[in-house]
């Protein structure tokens, strides 16, 4: 298991607060806050310090922490209470059915994931190494099966000549027969052992391609969509029509933008707006208090010139938050006249 530059101790040596920090940060901000409010001040301080010291955490390490968490629950809930049922009831009670459902799947299904499903728990570099020599159609199906953010990272690590071809194939996918998906699952299983759980044959499509492209580095995004448009102008247009870019946030309603402001990092917002259209900047400041807007503009002025790459990275980060809120039904993103949810 790879640690972040040696900063993270092996799981067996990690402290309780370190493991708690990884678990909480895998939940998301609002869910982690719900858990922290039930802890005492000293515990919050310890876990908070651990969270602040965490760098990038691999999927394997998150999976290991979750597996240990569930294992400890099994030991502590053996008096006629199944750990799975206990976890399900606690999470639903704390977060509600909608918000808890995805987390429950990650905890209860992710620990035993095999085949294609197990790819979601692997580091993106390992997934890229696994599929880079496969036929582009196989790669397209695999990436369409992954979450968009993971698929974008994997695609970025594939050879440049493959990226446009794979994304076009994702966009042209119109589902896949369950038997074919099971066969592919078995192929993946043989690569790293286990047997998969295939839930759906509905993978791929133009929206999936747009979601993946949205999460890629801007230079790669531009190059890929350019190549696709040269090969198939209609497909390129359809993908672009479903994409949602930072400037489109100007069209989000005030209530939705206020929800985004509650979640977005102030530092990220300061950098992101440095390169934004004035209409977008005005939209954000209009939905802030007068004092908060003044402080933001002052911070932007004081920051001076910012590298374009840093601006684009900050905008991608805020867009990722916006998409998460859209998936939770808290805001509506309208991309070129269409909903992006």
Residue 198 has pLDDT above 50, yes or no: no
Question: Is 198:185 a contact under the CB 8 Å cutoff?
Answer: yes
The helix, strand and coil proportions of the chain, stated in percent and rounded to the nearest 5, come to 70, 0, 25
Confidence of residue 194 (pLDDT cuts 50, 70, 90): very low
Distance CA 104, CA 314 (A): 30
Look up residue 251 and give its two tokens. 């069209």
**Candidate from 114-128, 152-166, 178-192 with smallest mean pLDDT:** 178-192
Is this model's pTM higher than 0.75 or not?
no
pLDDT at 287: 92
- Highest mean predicted confidence (pLDDT) among 67-71, 115-119, 121-125, 286-290: 286-290
Nearest Cα to Cα of residue 300 among 288, 311, 313: 311
Question: Is 185:114 a contact under the CB 8 Å cutoff?
Answer: no
Q: What is the pLDDT of residues 229-240, one digit of tens each?
A: 888 888 888 887
**Candidate from 8-17, 63-72, 142-151 with smallest mean pLDDT:** 8-17
Rg over CA atoms, the chain: 21
Confidence of residue 108 (pLDDT cuts 50, 70, 90): low
Average pLDDT (178-182) is: 67
Nearest Cα to Cα of residue 53 among 17, 87, 99: 17
Average pLDDT (240-250) is: 80
Nearest Cα to Cα of residue 224 among 137, 155, 164: 164
pLDDT at 86: 62
Q: What is the pLDDT of residues 19-69, one digit of tens each?
A: 888 888 777 677 777 777 777 777 777 777 777 777 666 777 777 777 777
pLDDT at 284: 92
pLDDT above 90 covers what percent of the chain? 3
DSSP 208-220: HHHHHHHTS-HHH
Q: What is the DSSP letter of 334?
A: E
Distances (CA, A) of 97 to 100, 189, 240: 5, 32, 34
Residue 262 has pLDDT above 60, yes or no: yes
- Domains in the chain with CATH codes: 16-112 (no CATH), 116-242 (1.10.220.30), 246-339 (1.10.220.30)
Confidence of residue 335 (pLDDT cuts 50, 70, 90): very low
């Amino acid at each position: 298991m790879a640690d972040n530059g040696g900063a993270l101790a092996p799981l067996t040596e990690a402290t309780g607060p370190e493991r708690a920090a990884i678990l909480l940060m895998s939940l998301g901000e609002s869910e982690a806050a719900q858990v922290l409010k039930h802890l005492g001040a000293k515990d919050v301080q310890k876990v908070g310090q651990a969270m602040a010291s965490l760098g990038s955490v691999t999927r394997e390490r998150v999976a290991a922490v979750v597996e240990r968490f569930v294992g400890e629950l099994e030991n502590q809930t053996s008096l006629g209470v199944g750990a799975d049922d206990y976890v399900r009831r606690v999470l639903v009670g704390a977060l509600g059915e909608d918000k808890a459902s995805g987390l429950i799947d990650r905890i209860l299904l992710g620990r035993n994931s095999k085949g294609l499903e197990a790819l979601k728990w692997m580091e993106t570099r390992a997934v890229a190494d696994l599929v880079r020599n496969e036929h582009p159609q196989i790669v397209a199906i695999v990436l369409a099966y992954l979450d968009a953010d993971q698929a974008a990272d994997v695609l970025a690590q594939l050879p440049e000549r493959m990226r446009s071809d794979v994304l076009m194939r994702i966009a042209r996918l119109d589902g896949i027969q369950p038997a074919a998906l099971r066969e592919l699952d078995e192929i993946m299983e043989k690569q790293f052992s286990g047997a998969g759980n295939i839930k759906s044959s509905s993978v791929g499509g133009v929206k999936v391609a747009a979601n993946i492209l949205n999460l890629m580095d801007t230079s790669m995004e531009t190059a890929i969509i350019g190549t696709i448009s040269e090969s198939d102008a209609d497909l390129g247009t359809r993908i672009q029509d479903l994409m949602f870019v930072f400037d489109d946030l100007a069209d989000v309603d005030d209530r939705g933008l206020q929800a985004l402001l509650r979640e977005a990092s102030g530092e990220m917002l300061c950098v992101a707006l440095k390169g934004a259209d004035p209409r977008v900047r005005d939209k954000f400041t209009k939905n802030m208090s007068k004092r908060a807007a003044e402080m933001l503009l002052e911070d932007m002025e004081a920051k001076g010139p910012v590298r374009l790459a840093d601006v684009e990275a900050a905008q991608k980060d805020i867009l990722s938050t916006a998409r998460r809120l859209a998936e939770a039904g808290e805001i509506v993103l309208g991309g070129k006249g269409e909903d992006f949810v």
